[in-house]
């Protein structure tokens, strides 16, 4: 899989999701399904979107004891998703358990990506609530290296961090980057943003774009603009 635009389908129901996806009559966008839609509709929503021909990033951010995560991943592998993820904070043992669970009998598996420190966590809350005192950018880079050493395929990070992650972990280690906005668009609640063209320039492998596409007056045109800036 090469560079691609992943559309965050942050909808509350299958009905809303299909109303959105029905607008795309040509290209089939790569779709991100997160907790809201998955918990509302269950695994059937994954099968239905897959059956329509979309690639899927299932964004459930698993974090539990290694045995539980391994067994949960063994369920997800049968959903035939293309990318899924977990928290690197679950440690190497959990990430290795996840890889084992995710690997099918024929040796194939979805790509497995780690979440490092969530972008909603800042230095102050990290020090106060989870007693991590190191600078947050070093923490993120340490989690990236730990994920790579555990055998994972990449991390979710800000497009601003993608270059550093590739320097540290190699260009083959994937960076999936949310926080993307058009130069002339609304930033909304995202704080550190980049345009699709800048994300391409810095070397992001995949951009995750939600509201600039889902809330656009013409979502298909907004998607095509992302593809034109980031992929073509």
Candidates 128-136, 166-174, 207-215, 218-226; binding stretch for ligand C5P (CB under 6 A): 207-215
Catalytic residue (choose from 50, 55, 61, 200): 61
Applying CB under 6 A, which of residues 12, 19, 65, 118 lies at the interface with ligand C5P?
118
| Beta carbon nearer to ligand C5P, 66 or 212 | 212
Candidates 45-53, 62-70, 130-138, 210-218; binding stretch for ligand C5P (CB under 6 A): 210-218
* Least Cβ distance, residue 104 to ligand C5P (angstroms): 27
Q: Is 61 a catalytic residue?
A: yes
DSSP state of 188: T
Residue-by-residue DSSP string for 31-71: EEEEHHHHHHH-HHHHHHHHHTT--EEEEEEE-S-HHHHHH
Contact flag: residue 219 with ligand C5P (CB under 6 A): no
Helix axes 14-21, 43-51, angle to 10 degrees: 20
8: part of which helix (H) or strand (E)? Answer: strand 4-8
* Least Cβ distance, residue 23 to ligand C5P (angstroms): 17
Token pair recorded at residue 130: 């989870």
Q: Distances in Å between the alpha carbon of 40 and those of 8, 33, 35, 45, 59?
A: 16, 11, 8, 9, 14
Contact flag: residue 210 with ligand C5P (CB under 6 A): yes
Applying CB under 6 A, which of residues 29, 90, 101, 178 lies at the interface with ligand C5P?
178
Applying CB under 6 A, which of residues 95, 209, 222, 226 lies at the interface with ligand C5P?
209
Q: Looking up tokens 């440690």, which residue turns up?
A: 91
Determine how many CB atoms are found less than 10 A away from the CB of residue 166: 20
- Give contact residues for ligand C5P (rule: CB under 6 A): 8, 10, 34, 118-119, 156, 178-179, 190, 208-212
């Amino acid at each position: 899989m090469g560079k691609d635009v992943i559309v965050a389908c942050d909808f509350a129901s299958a009905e809303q999701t299909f109303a959105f996806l029905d607008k795309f009559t040509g290209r089939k966008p790569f779709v991100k399904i997160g907790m809201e839609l998955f918990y509302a509709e269950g695994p059937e929503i994954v099968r239905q979107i897959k059956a329509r021909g979309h690639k899927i990033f299932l964004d459930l951010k698993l974090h539990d004891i290694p045995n539980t995560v391994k067994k949960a991943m063994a369920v997800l592998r049968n959903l035939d998703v293309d990318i899924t993820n977990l928290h690197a904070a679950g440690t190497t043992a959990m990430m290795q358990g996840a890889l084992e669970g995710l690997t099918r009998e024929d040796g194939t598996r979805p790509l497995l990506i780690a979440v490092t420190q969530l972008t909603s966590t800042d230095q102050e809350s990290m020090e106060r609530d989870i007693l991590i005192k190191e600078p947050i950018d070093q923490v993120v880079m340490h989690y990236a290296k730990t994920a790579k050493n555990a055998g994972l395929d990449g991390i979710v990070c800000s497009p601003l961090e993608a270059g550093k992650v590739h320097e540290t972990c190699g260009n083959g280690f994937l960076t999936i980057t949310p926080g993307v906005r058009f130069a002339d668009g609304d930033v909304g609640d995202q704080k550190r943003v980049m345009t699709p063209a800048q994300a391409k320039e810095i070397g992001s492998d995949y951009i995750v774009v939600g509201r600039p596409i889902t809330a656009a007056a013409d979502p298909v045109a907004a998607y095509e603009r992302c593809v034109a800036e980031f992929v073509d």
